[in-house]
Amino acid sequence: MSAAGEQYIVDEHGNGVAVILPLQEYEQLQEDLHDLAVVAERREEPAIEFSEFRKRYER
C-alpha cells in the first residue's frame, strides 16, 4: 500500500527510518488495526446463522 502523501525520513546512510503520513490516513490505519484486533479477539466465538442474528437484532 503506497499513498501519494507519504514522506520518508532517512538516516545518514539513506536507510528509511520513519514515514510521515497525512493525519486522515494515519487515523484510518489506527481504526483498521483496532477492527483487526477485535476480530482476532472474537475469533473463537461460535458462529450463528443469519436468521438467528436477525432475531436477536430485532429484539
What is the full per-residue pLDDT of the chain (59 aa) written as tens digits?
555 778 999 999 999 999 999 999 999 999 999 999 999 999 999 999 999 999 998 87
Question: What would the grid cell of residue 3 be?
Answer: 499513498
Could you state, in order of their start, the residue ranges of all structural domains in the chain? Answer: 7-58
Q: What is the pLDDT of residue 31?
A: 98
For cell 514522506, name the residue.
Answer: 7
Q: What is the pLDDT of residue 15?
A: 96
Whole-prediction pTM: 0.61
Question: What would the grid cell of residue 53 be?
Answer: 442474528
Q: What is the pLDDT of residue 45?
A: 92
Q: Where are the alpha helices (DSSP H) in the chain?
A: 23-41, 50-58
